[in-house]
A and B are shown apart, each in its own frame.
Chain A
């Protein structure tokens, strides 16, 4: 028995010695590890995505901004997003900074989708500036169409109650908790109900674009508020 124990320990000792030998060989570079991962993979990471916008002239034709305005807009845009593209996370972050008290991420998501017309997942400068052109320099109808597009989440041409509820909830989320009077849990729902009562003429549970336009044009408040941001730029 004692002999066997010694042997056991000796085997162990020899195993340790063998291990150290292997390590020394590795040190000398004579023992290649079996796994040869592609080192080249990491190099691919370096190519970051960069986007250049279309030329100034082209943008001038596409939008209603003057050259100087476009220059100024681009400078602000490029400053914040040097790569030329805004992805959704960055967009949410930027937008949330304007609403510190509440949670603006959901609404920012909807807004992002409204701007990202080609569903590419990121907003390029062209999208940005075209959207702004509509909002600031467009006709009332164009603005209303843009708003309709915003509410119509799945872009099928109809605003359903669920879509409206989602939008409304996200707007109320931006308010945060500390409001007066406090936001009740069913406030968005109430608001949606009111909206539908106003807009949904044929009571079919959805609001089409025509219903929307019609109702809005009759509402003075809405019409006047559409002109509110004329001179933002």
Chain B
């Protein structure tokens, strides 16, 4: 019910008294309005801007936030108002909805922001009034397309376990995904060009043996035949491969591109089959015309061509109109010209269809001059014809042009978005790393802090004690708790990968060429090394028991880490840590971990390890091989076991 109409409900109820005398049955009891109170003004404070309205206005829509008791959550007792921390601009439309019953979409508003506001206030966007609905839907569609583009880009990530068929299809559709596909793409493009070129050159006259010129095709029959064969071979192979790989063969066969493919290679096979029979060779020659369709195969290689084709398809109605109006005009003018020129002698306008040619040539302003009116009337009508021709043709053209421009720009936008996507993702990645780096940095500082505590150097301590915001410290505390829960620590990405590699290559190396930064944890690096028996970070494979070789990934230590470890050792309770630096440098082959409790000794090859580094893997569950920085946390609780074989 519209809002205004709701105001008439009391009236409708009152008018119901008119039914009472004729009613047969007793009436039901009326609902009591317990919360009846005088209509009062409510103040809605939206980010400082105060809106005021009657309570009954808001009560019109009880299933929204403002109309229900949900708004009590936002009530500010001291100021006796409802405070909402939202955008006041968008709130205007929301409030107007209550007032007038119509929801409008302000054009200046971003569609996503507006949608969020609506959902916050519990209003469904479908009730947007007709005046703004078109605009809203258009914007929403554009936004959805943008999101879809983002989604499609994710398709570039090769999903695992694709069948051979799917791989081929993907290679065909997105040539840039693999080198082979790219090669194939360029090869086919090249051969299409070659094929078209040979078709053209075939007809060029080159040299003459007898009196007449013969074309190159007739002169070098064998060469051209070989070229043609080669091209058709490639095209046939390509077509068959596509047919094999297509997810839906029936749909593929019906698609335009496949029809073009077939038409392009068909004449050749027909030519093979047919002999030099005189009767059919005429028809055969016509078939050769179809060879030119090979040029359409370029549309797979050129986006512009595709856009053009798509534009023409979408402008079909305008083109149809153009054609229709032209036909009408042609017929009219041809008739008029015919009758005008009928009287003049030796006129070329022998019949109305013959005049069609003149009309077409004049209307498109070609003006060949092979048919020219001689009478005055004919000339007058001829000039009118050419003037109107310009107009009739000019009318639908801008529509087609604007369609083409719109589609073209859309594609441009999509391409731009794709290009920017990389930058965007990089930015997001940096932001994420930034926050994780902050945490790792904090930990390092924490370590140094502890160290300095011992040395009691105030200034340095203060220097390290950067003031952290409350939010940050709480976040770090949270990450810390997670570390404690799993018994693993966060490390820097680079270090982690590096260590992975090293671990893989040199199981027995004693020195970690780690970089200074802390390693990061990434799952992928280690996952590939599963065989090495390192328990996967992700998969909880109890690989620890497996292999002697297993511990290839280890915690590579960075020099920084080493320092830390050294430091830690000092502060650690356990003395078992071999505090020698060299120990720290020892690369541990075991699955190390910084686990809080280490129980078993895994089959570590190199036993020496510092407490931090190593420890026998815990029951294979935690396969995270990295870790470096978290030394701090674990040291205190670690029992270092030197595993030795």
A94→B8 contact, CB < 8 A: yes
Interface centre among B8, B19, B27, B384 (most CB of A within 10 A): B8
Q: Which of A13, A73, A195 is within 8 Å of B340, CB to CB?
A: A13
B480 within 8 A of A: no
Contacts A13-B380, A136-B14, A224-B26 known; A97 to B5 CB distance under 8 Å?
yes
Q: Which of B18, B20, B376 is within 8 Å of A114, CB to CB?
A: B18
B419 within 8 A of A: no
Distance, CA A98 to CA B5, complexed state (A): 9
A77→B21 contact, CB < 8 A: no
Tell me which residues across on chain A come within 8 A of B340, comparing CB atoms. Answer: 9, 13
Tell me which residues across on chain A come within 8 A of B377, comparing CB atoms. Answer: 6, 9-10, 12-13
Distance, CA A29 to CA B14, complexed state (A): 63
Tell me which residues across on chain B come within 8 A of A136, comparing CB atoms. Answer: 10, 14
| B3 to chain A: closest residue by CB | A79
B30 within 8 A of A: yes
**Which of under 10, 10 to 19, 20 to 34, or 35 or more describes the interface residues of B?**
35 or more
Contacts A13-B376, A76-B4 known; A135 to B339 CB distance under 8 Å?
no
Convert B245-279 into 0s and 1s, putting 1 for each residue whose CB lies closer than 8 angstroms to a CB of A.
Answer: 00000000000000000000000000000000000
A135→B33 contact, CB < 8 A: no
Q: Which of A75, A97, A132, A147 is within 8 Å of B21, CB to CB?
A: A147
B9 within 8 A of A: yes
B343→A2 contact, CB < 8 A: yes
Q: Which of B17, B19, B54, B342 is within 8 Å of A146, CB to CB?
A: B17
Total contacting residues, chain A, CB less than 8 A? 54
Least distance between B598 CB and chain A CB atoms (Å): 74
Tell me which residues across on chain A come within 8 A of B22, comparing CB atoms. Answer: 164, 167-168, 171, 191, 195
A194 within 8 A of B: yes
Q: Which of B12, B17, B56 is within 8 Å of A72, CB to CB?
A: B56
Distance, CA A188 to CA B259, complexed state (A): 69
Contacts A5-B343, A13-B340 known; A228 to B18 CB distance under 8 Å?
no
Convert A189-233 into 0s and 1s, putting 1 for each residue whose CB lies closer than 8 angstroms to a CB of B.
Answer: 001001100000000000000001000100001101110110111
Distance, CA A136 to CA B342, complexed state (A): 90
B15 within 8 A of A: yes
A225→B26 contact, CB < 8 A: yes
| B340 to chain A: closest residue by CB | A9
Distance, CA A191 to CA B29, complexed state (A): 23
B391 within 8 A of A: no
Tell me which residues across on chain B come within 8 A of A222, comparing CB atoms. Answer: 20-21, 23
B38 within 8 A of A: yes
B24 within 8 A of A: yes
Distance, CA A171 to CA B19, complexed state (A): 8
Least distance between A123 CB and chain B CB atoms (Å): 10
Tell me which residues across on chain A come within 8 A of B30, comparing CB atoms. Answer: 228-229, 231
B599 within 8 A of A: no
A17 within 8 A of B: yes
B343→A229 contact, CB < 8 A: no
Distance, CA A35 to CA B32, complexed state (A): 67
Tell me which residues across on chain A come within 8 A of B25, comparing CB atoms. Answer: 221
Convert A5-25 into 0s and 1s, putting 1 for each residue whose CB lies closer than 8 angstroms to a CB of B.
Answer: 110011011001100000000
| A171 to chain B: closest residue by CB | B19
B280 within 8 A of A: no
Distance, CA A29 to CA B56, complexed state (A): 60
Distance, CA A136 to CA B17, complexed state (A): 9
Convert A60-93 into 0s and 1s, putting 1 for each residue whose CB lies closer than 8 angstroms to a CB of B.
Answer: 0000000010001101110110000000000000
Least distance between A143 CB and chain B CB atoms (Å): 6
Contacts A10-B376, A10-B377, A17-B380 known; A80 to B17 CB distance under 8 Å?
no
B107 within 8 A of A: no
Distance, CA A151 to CA B16, complexed state (A): 13
A128 within 8 A of B: yes
B13 within 8 A of A: yes
Convert B352-386 into 0s and 1s, putting 1 for each residue whose CB lies closer than 8 angstroms to a CB of A.
Answer: 00000000000000000000000111001100100
Distance, CA A191 to CA B13, complexed state (A): 22
Least distance between A136 CB and chain B CB atoms (Å): 5
A147→B20 contact, CB < 8 A: yes
B2 within 8 A of A: yes
A98→B9 contact, CB < 8 A: yes
Tell me which residues across on chain B come within 8 A of A9, comparing CB atoms. Answer: 339-340, 343, 375, 377
B342→A5 contact, CB < 8 A: yes
| B343 to chain A: closest residue by CB | A6
Tell me which residues across on chain A come within 8 A of B27, comparing CB atoms. Answer: 221, 224-225, 228
| B342 to chain A: closest residue by CB | A5
A13→B381 contact, CB < 8 A: yes
Tell me which residues across on chain A come within 8 A of B283, comparing CB atoms. Answer: none
Tell me which residues across on chain B come within 8 A of A77, comparing CB atoms. Answer: 7
B36→A231 contact, CB < 8 A: yes
| A4 to chain B: closest residue by CB | B343
| B376 to chain A: closest residue by CB | A10
A153 within 8 A of B: no
Question: Which chain B residues (379-437) contact chain A, with CB distance < 8 Å?
Answer: 380-381, 384
B458 within 8 A of A: no
Distance, CA A10 to CA B384, complexed state (A): 14
Distance, CA A212 to CA B15, complexed state (A): 18
A94→B5 contact, CB < 8 A: yes
B11 within 8 A of A: yes
Distance, CA A144 to CA B19, complexed state (A): 11
B126 within 8 A of A: no
Q: Which of A5, A75, A226, A232 is within 8 Å of B20, CB to CB?
A: A226
Tell me which residues across on chain A come within 8 A of B339, comparing CB atoms. Answer: 5, 9
B39 within 8 A of A: yes
B328 within 8 A of A: no
Convert B556-588 into 0s and 1s, putting 1 for each residue whose CB lies closer than 8 angstroms to a CB of A.
Answer: 000000000000000000000000000000000
Tell me which residues across on chain A come within 8 A of B5, comparing CB atoms. Answer: 80, 94, 97-98
By a beta-carbon cutoff of 8 Å, the part of chain A in contact with chain B is 2-3, 5-6, 9-10, 12-13, 16-17, 68, 72-73, 75-77, 79-80, 94-95, 97-98, 111, 114, 128, 131-132, 135-136, 143-144, 146-147, 150-151, 164, 167-168, 171, 191, 194-195, 212, 216, 221-222, 224-226, 228-229, 231-233
By a beta-carbon cutoff of 8 Å, the part of chain B in contact with chain A is 1-5, 7-27, 29-30, 32-33, 36, 38-39, 54, 56, 99-100, 339-340, 342-344, 375-377, 380-381, 384
What would be 27 A-B contacts, judged by CB atoms less than 8 Å apart?
A5-B343, A6-B344, A9-B339, A9-B340, A9-B343, A13-B380, A17-B380, A72-B39, A79-B100, A80-B5, A80-B8, A97-B1, A98-B8, A135-B15, A136-B10, A143-B17, A147-B17, A147-B20, A151-B18, A221-B25, A221-B26, A225-B20, A225-B26, A228-B29, A229-B17, A231-B32, A232-B10
Q: 10 tightest A-B contacts by CB?
A: A76-B7, A80-B4, A135-B14, A6-B343, A13-B377, A225-B27, A9-B377, A13-B380, A225-B20, A232-B10
Supply 18 further A-B pairs (C-beta < 8 A) apart from A9-B377, A147-B18, A212-B21.
A3-B343, A5-B342, A5-B343, A10-B376, A13-B340, A68-B38, A68-B39, A79-B7, A80-B8, A94-B5, A111-B18, A135-B17, A191-B22, A224-B27, A225-B27, A226-B17, A228-B27, A232-B14
